[in-house]
Amino acid sequence: MGVLETSITLLSSSLCISLIFVLIKFLHKVWWTPISIQHVMSSQGITGPPYRFIYGNSKEIIKMRAESMSKPMDLSHDIFPRLHPHIHSWLNLFGKNFLSWYGPRAQLVITESELAKEILNNREKAYQKVDTEKYLKKIFGDGLLTSEGEKWVKLRKLANHAFRAESLKNMVPAMIESVEMMLERWKYHEGKEVEVFEEFRVLTSEIISRTAFGSNYLEGKEIFEMLMKLVIIFSRNSSNIRLPGLGKFWKSSDDIESEKLEQGIQDSIIKMINKREKAMIQIGNFGTDLLGLLVKANNDIDENNRFTVEEVVDECKTFYIAGHETTTTLLSWTVLFLAIHADWQDKARKEVLELFGQKLPNAQGIARMKMVYIFPICYEWRISKMNMIINESLRLYPPLTNFTRKVHRKVKLGNLVLPANINLSISTFALHRDPQIWGEDVHLFKPERFSGGVAIATNNNSSVYIPFGLGDRSCVGTNFATNEAKIALSMILQRYAFTLSPAYIHSPVQLLTIRPQHGIQGTMITFFATTLCIFLLFALLWFLHKVWWTPIRIQNFMASQGIKGPSYRFIHGSTKQISNMLEESESKPMEDISHHVFPRLLPHVYAWTQLYGKTYLNWHGPRAQLVVAEPSLVKEILNNKDGAYPKTKIDDYLKKLLGDGIVICEGEKWSKLRKIANHAFHGESLKEMVPAMVKSVETMLERWRQHEGKEIEVYEEFRMLTSEIISRTAFGSSYLEGKNIFDMLMKLGVIVSRNELKISFPAIGKFVKSRDEIDSDKIEQEIRDSIIAMVKKRENKVITGETDSYGSDFLGSLIKVNHDANENNRISIDNIVDECKTFYIAGQETTNSSLA
């Protein structure tokens, strides 16, 4: 009996001691350590809400969140006090850095950018990932997001390889195909309401399935659905405090369901792994996507590099959830912003159309969306509108609202000394909404704040803008997510204009990321219909500005300086009056041989000079034309010392006649062509041309001998003479050889004369062509072909060795410059054709009329 009593006494004593030890350990954890940490931090000026036994501040946080979420919200982006009311409130109460409590666990909330930068850069490896909450661990496992040390290095190395630049480039076609599938569905909802959040969820799931796992959304649908159920369970329990060890004896319904889901996800991923391993037998490799690299690592012969099946499963879970969740919310909030801010939607669309037109996006164009070269406006790079929009969207609705780390040992952070066993929480919300950095308009969507890039927007303080983190542990899929968003947005903007549905209720909530509680409903209108309406409106405004507002404004401006003239008539200007006056003057025969031809050939100029003075304003259609007959003004204009009076833009018919040759062009091109012409017609060259001129005149006089004492049509004779001379001296041929060119140029001249006073609008010519336009196009092409044949003939003589140079005449000079070794001096074949046309017509027309 004594032995039994002794045993009972010993057992009771042991039990009491164990209970006392457990109680002491419990009190140390939930009372002594928190009070000790609170005291250490308060001694350094860091305060916060007081620690509550066991629960810390969890009950307060739950209550504040419930209260903020219960209130309806306007369409405002000031969501910090709604989603994180505790941090928002305590920041104002305790300062930029304060101490709060997640149960008995101390959590130092950091909103000072320099401290955030020091923590995330983690150069001394003092700030480790926090212990993952059990529900969160079921979502991500011990993968890239949660692991540490050598394991993290191994996982990061593989992920870097999977999402390197070349791999991302190869993913673009799959991304485009996935977006095309979504847009194909949208065709059935054009003009109707579309639930874009759900559409983007399916899209991003499809893209990560294709690019990382070589499957599609339907194959991975079960995994996505199970992961989303786990996310909801995590969100429901995120602020609940549970004592360690309790879960071994009692499990909640969420515990049971989450374990079942975790097992289901694991089984599905292992099936996918087995399928890839079987495929390897047929194709000879595991593939180059993420899954292929993981399965290959699982089969690595080097044990140090080998991945376990559990590691492969955890990485797959990580990228399944992270690979679509981030981009889903990014696309959703960005489309919301663009639906509200139509001006930015238009800017983004304009940029997309400039880059791609209506063609599918490509990797090169997507890469250029970071920076856009704005030649010829100026020689510099600028941030693309799409990049500015995405940056601002990520600022207001960051994928992660906070980054957490833990301190294992005593460490110095800035001027603070942190004790062991304290968690650090960097508030992305607070950093992204600091008025001292971003200005008082911090809650407004203003992409222009990123017009100079992130560095300028943040005053070179990289740690105040951390949508994807900072340092070594920044998100490995940043470029994947932004490329995906740019491709999707580009293809949507190419096809649709979108507005926000009146049914939309603005209620952002936080699960893993910030998502719209009730989705985002938008109306997609085909871009063609919208563009057509806008185009017609702008076309009308442009037309009225061109044919009414501008002429009236110029007329009033000149009248205020005493310059008058015939009143502007809508569209036609003065052209109808001029046509009538010309027709009337030409219908009357001249009474005698008089050289007073001014009122006959230019009756409008003659009459209006008498009526309005030597300088007056008239109108060629809606184009103002100041007629100048004052010698001093004429001298100033033609001398053009300041370069203020360039050549006028010629009409299409005249351009076909003269091309863009020396008579028409300006600037460096004119200088180059003038230099060639000066050389061809300088004093020595003219001297050498005299025999050819004499011979041509002798040929004409020989013909005249047959008509001595008879009537001769001297104008036609001189036309042939001048044509012969320009052919011989400038082109090394004869009138008969160039007769076809002269005849065609004369036909073009007749067409030019016939259309001189007709008013046409350039855009109309793209759709409807007159008989003269068709004929002139044909003649222009024939002239071009004839001149090129003449050039080829001269070149062939050099090639065959018949001659050793292109010749010293004008044509030879042109061909020589066309073959110049120096690209800066070289002229194109088009330049040669235009110069030949110019000298063919000008070289005989001027002298012909002078002689006649």
Where residue 377 falls among pLDDT bands split at 50, 70, 90? very low
Alpha helices in 341-412 (DSSP H): 342-356, 363-368, 385-396
345 vs 20, residue with greater confidence = 345
Distances (CA, A) of 15 to 7, 8, 9, 26, 249: 12, 10, 10, 16, 19
pLDDT for the residue 443: 95
pLDDT for the residue 529: 63
Main-chain phi, psi angles of 451, to 5 degrees = -65, -25
d(CA 85, CA 97): 16
Where residue 181 falls among pLDDT bands split at 50, 70, 90? very high
Does 24 lie in the same domain as 141?
Answer: no
Average pLDDT of the residues in 486-497? 94
**Position 53 in a domain:** no
- CB contact at 8 A, 680 and 811: no
Does 713 lie in the same domain as 677?
Answer: yes
Percentage of the chain lying above the pLDDT 90 cut: 37
**Position 43 in a domain:** no
Where residue 592 falls among pLDDT bands split at 50, 70, 90? confident
pLDDT for the residue 664: 82
**Position 247 in a domain:** no
pLDDT of 762 over the 60 cut = no
SS3 of residue 422 by DSSP? strand
pLDDT for the residue 374: 45
pLDDT of 408 over the 50 cut = yes
Write out pLDDT tens, residues 558-568. 999 999 999 99
Does 113 lie in the same domain as 29?
Answer: no
Does 391 lie in the same domain as 440?
Answer: yes
pLDDT of 244 over the 60 cut = no
Does 357 lie in the same domain as 314?
Answer: yes
* Structural domain range at position 13: 1-35
pLDDT of 440 over the 90 cut = yes
**Position 768 in a domain:** yes
- Beta-strand pair 402-407/193-195: unpaired
Average pLDDT of the residues in 177-189? 93
Does 705 lie in the same domain as 773?
Answer: yes
**Position 246 in a domain:** no
Q: Which of 495, 519, 543 is the last residue of a domain?
A: 519
pLDDT for the residue 467: 93
**Is 378 known as a binding-site position?**
no
Does 507 lie in the same domain as 436?
Answer: yes
Does 108 lie in the same domain as 230?
Answer: yes
- CB contact at 8 A, 230 and 261: yes
Q: Please provide the size of the chain in residues.
A: 852
Average pLDDT of the residues in 705-714? 88
Where residue 176 falls among pLDDT bands split at 50, 70, 90? very high
**Position 42 in a domain:** no
Does 22 lie in the same domain as 65?
Answer: no
**Position 270 in a domain:** yes
∠ CA 354-360-365, nearest 5°, is 50
Where residue 394 falls among pLDDT bands split at 50, 70, 90? very high
367 vs 396, residue with greater confidence = 396
Contacting residues for 60 by C-beta, under 8 A, at least 6 apart? 49, 52, 86
Does 447 lie in the same domain as 303?
Answer: yes
CB pairs under 8 A, 24+ apart, for 605-613? 607/581, 608/565, 608/566, 612/564, 612/565, 613/564
Where residue 376 falls among pLDDT bands split at 50, 70, 90? very low
- pLDDT-wise least confident of 236-240, 305-309, 607-611: 236-240
Where residue 378 falls among pLDDT bands split at 50, 70, 90? very low
d(CA 283, CA 279): 6
d(CA 131, CA 269): 25
Write out pLDDT tens, residues 787-844. 888 889 888 988 888 888 888 888 888 888 888 888 888 888 888 888 888 887 777 7
Percentage of the chain lying above the pLDDT 70 cut: 95
pLDDT of 663 over the 90 cut = no
Average pLDDT of the residues in 260-286? 87
pLDDT for the residue 68: 92
| Orientation of helix 309-340 relative to helix 478-495, angle to 10° | 40
- CB contact at 8 A, 511 and 399: no
Q: How far apart are the first and last CA of the chain?
A: 154
pLDDT for the residue 371: 58
pLDDT of 380 over the 60 cut = no
Does 844 lie in the same domain as 730?
Answer: yes
* CATH number for the domain harbouring residue 138: 1.10.630.10
Round the average pLDDT of the chain to a whole number and report it: 87
In the chain, the largest separation of any two C-alpha atoms, in whole Å, equals 171
Write out pLDDT tens, residues 415-437. 999 999 899 999 999 999 999 99
d(CA 307, CA 312): 7
Q: Which of 619, 645, 671 is the last residue of a domain?
A: 645
pLDDT for the residue 174: 92
pLDDT for the residue 767: 64
Average pLDDT of the residues in 75-87? 94
pLDDT for the residue 807: 84
The total of structural domains in the chain comes to 4
pLDDT for the residue 375: 43
pLDDT for the residue 532: 67
- pLDDT-wise least confident of 379-383, 407-411, 480-484: 379-383
- pLDDT-wise least confident of 301-315, 341-355, 620-634, 837-851: 837-851
pLDDT for the residue 179: 95
Range with the largest mean pLDDT of 197-201, 243-247, 641-645, 668-672: 197-201
pLDDT for the residue 388: 95
- pLDDT-wise least confident of 73-87, 170-184, 351-365, 766-780: 766-780
**Position 724 in a domain:** yes
Q: Which of 592, 624, 645 is the last residue of a domain?
A: 645
- pLDDT-wise least confident of 532-536, 662-666, 680-684, 724-728: 532-536
Average pLDDT of the residues in 369-393? 70
pLDDT of 531 over the 70 cut = no
Does 198 lie in the same domain as 99?
Answer: yes
